[in-house]
Amino acid sequence: MMKHGSSLHTVTGNPFFSRGFTFVEVLAAMLFMAILVPIIVQGLVIANRAGVVAERKRIASQLADRMLADMMITGDWQNGEQSGDFGEEWPDYSWILGTQAWDLDTMRVVTLQVLYHVQGKEYIVSLSTLAPEEAEAQE
C-alpha cells in the first residue's frame, strides 16, 4: 500500500515536479516561431503574387489573341508600328504591334505584345503570326 503524499515524489524523485514547460523550452519555441513565421508569410506573399500574375497573364493572352485576330482580319497590321490600350474596360493593359520580315520565306511576322503590371513589375505577353508579304503591296 502506498503512503499518503509519496506517489509523486516516488515517480519523479523530486517533490517540486511540475508539468509545465521550462524557460529554455519556451525560448526555443519562440525562437523557432520567430524564424518560421516570416518564412511562411513570405511564401504566402509569393504564392499570392504568382496567382495574380497568372490571372492577369490569362487576361492579357485573351486580349492579345482578340486584338491580333482583329488586326489580321481588318488588315490594320499593315499600317506599321502601332500601340494603344484596351479602353476603359481594361485600363491596366496596353499593346504594341510590330512587323518584321520572316527569314524563311517571303512573309511577315506580325507580333502583338500586351503589357501589364503586377505589384510594380511589368510583364509582357507576346503573340505572333505570319502574314503574306504581298498583302502589304495590295493596297
Please report the pLDDT score of residue 39 as a whole number: 95
Q: Which residue has the cell 488588315?
A: 75
pLDDT in tens, 77-105: 999 899 999 999 999 999 999 999 988 88
Predicted structure pTM score: 0.69
Phi-psi region of 85 (alpha: psi -120 to 50; beta: other; left: phi over 0): beta
Q: Give tens-digit pLDDT for 9-65.
A: 555 566 566 678 899 999 999 999 999 999 999 999 999 999 999 999 999 999 999
Query: Which cell is 36 given?
Result: 518560421
Domain ranges of the chain: 21-137
Percent helix, strand and coil across the chain, each to the nearest 5: 45, 25, 25
**What is the spatial distance between Cα 31 and Cα 138, in angstroms, rounded to a whole number?**
74
Owner of C-alpha cell 505570319: 130
pLDDT of residue 136: 47
